Amino acid sequence: MYIIIVGGGKVGYYLAKQLVEDGNEVLVIEKDAAKCQHMADELGDIVLRGDGCEGITLEVAGTGRADLFIAVTGDDEDNLVACQMAKNKFNVRRTVALINNPKNEAIFRKLGIDTTVSSTTLVLANIEQELPSHPLIPLLTIKGGGLEIVEAKVPPYSAVVGKRVGDLLLPQQCLITVIIDEEGVPRIPTSDTSVRAGDEVIAVCRRESKDALRAVFTAPVKETQ
Amino acid sequence: MKTVIMGCGRVGAELATLLDREGQEVVILDIDPDAFGQLPDGFKGSCVVGNGIDQDVLRRIGLAEADAFVAVTPGDNRNVMACQIAKHIFGVPRVVCRIFDPIRQELYRNLGLETISPTKEVAQLLKQALEREPAETPKSEG
């Protein structure tokens, strides 16, 4: 695979290193001369000095034959424009952008960037696991279909504790794919698997039914019962 | 008519002043509070310190109710991103974007953004000026 990376900062550097080790053809585009030199010393002749949003630089980089285009500079606007150039001017099939402000995810998606990675969202996801108010964590959006893979931690007060998976009233088009117990052991559940407090449930669901799914796992046991 | 201008440099300040003199409602945005010093005394529009590619800032200044949005920061990418947010997220009816790089301008024009590239326009003007008969200019040497 020919992979172009725009941005030779820490993320770009380690990404390039890994992708080269995996046997890919990699080119990093970076503006800063010192960063270019450092990368060339460490990783060899895989660096192009230039602006990854400039048409001419992208032309020289052979963007037209890239299989994958990844923009990981520190500025969301640069990542957006680089990916839009790659996608719309050079017809790169798959573009990936790092976004710093998680609120930019919607606009990136609307403008056709295939995948966005928000480091802020990833960090939030990890700390939100500890926060009972945010029990549902989006793990991955499946391209094109409005489906998401989400993770929910079952709180001890949840009404689903002790119930069989087959007895859960899940929203339409929602599938529980994996349950990871408190010891960290993942299982693919059957309808007979029972849900336990502290389980992490990984499910595929429609984006619009996320709230309903969250309610299933977090609604407490009704006191009248 | 409410116009939001992003970037209070020479062009942004000049445009804001023109619209303000016509009695239009103007909001001008810049990340540098000192930038507003370029505006004339008696400017009646509002000056907001903030980043125009931050949707929270744009929401706070009421971009959804604006009739027009113009991006004239020195950064092409910032202008392009802000304009696309104004158009696609806030549904502003009239969005105009300054893009210095002609290649990027062509791309975004094809993607449906109203764009102006000073690089091309000014080069054209300079070429025309060179092709004209020299104007009567007072000679400096005595």
A81 to B104: CB separation less than 8 angstroms, yes or no: yes
- pLDDT tens, residue by residue, A189-223: 998 999 998 888 999 988 888 878 888 887 777 65
Between A and B, how many CB-CB pairs are < 8 A? Answer: 57
Residue partners of A89: CB distance under 8 A and separation at least 6:
A55, A58, B103, B107
- Tell me the domain boundaries of chain B: 2-131
Sign for the CA dihedral angle at A207, A209, A212, A217 comes to: negative
A103 to B56: CB separation less than 8 angstroms, yes or no: yes
Tell me how far apart the alpha carbons of residues B57 and B61 are, in angstroms, rounded to a whole number: 6
- pLDDT tens, residue by residue, A31-79: 999 999 999 999 999 999 999 999 899 999 999 999 999 999 999 999 9
Q: What chain A residue is nearest to B110 in terms of C-alpha separation? A: A88
Report residue B114 CA to chain centroid gap: 12
A110 to B89: CB separation less than 8 angstroms, yes or no: yes
- pLDDT tens, residue by residue, A94-120: 999 999 888 898 899 899 999 999 887
pTM above 0.90, yes or no: no
B80 to A103: CB separation less than 8 angstroms, yes or no: no
> With contacts defined as CB-CB under 8 Å, which chain B residues touch A111?
84, 88
CATH superfamily of B2-131: NAD(P)-binding Rossmann-like Domain (3.40.50.720)
> With contacts defined as CB-CB under 8 Å, which chain A residues touch B80?
77, 80-81, 84
Say which of A81, A89, A104 has its CB closest to residue B80.
Answer: A81
Structural domains in chain A? 2-123 (3.40.50.720), 133-218 (3.30.70.1450)
Return the closest-CA partner of residue A210 out of A157, A174, A180.
A174
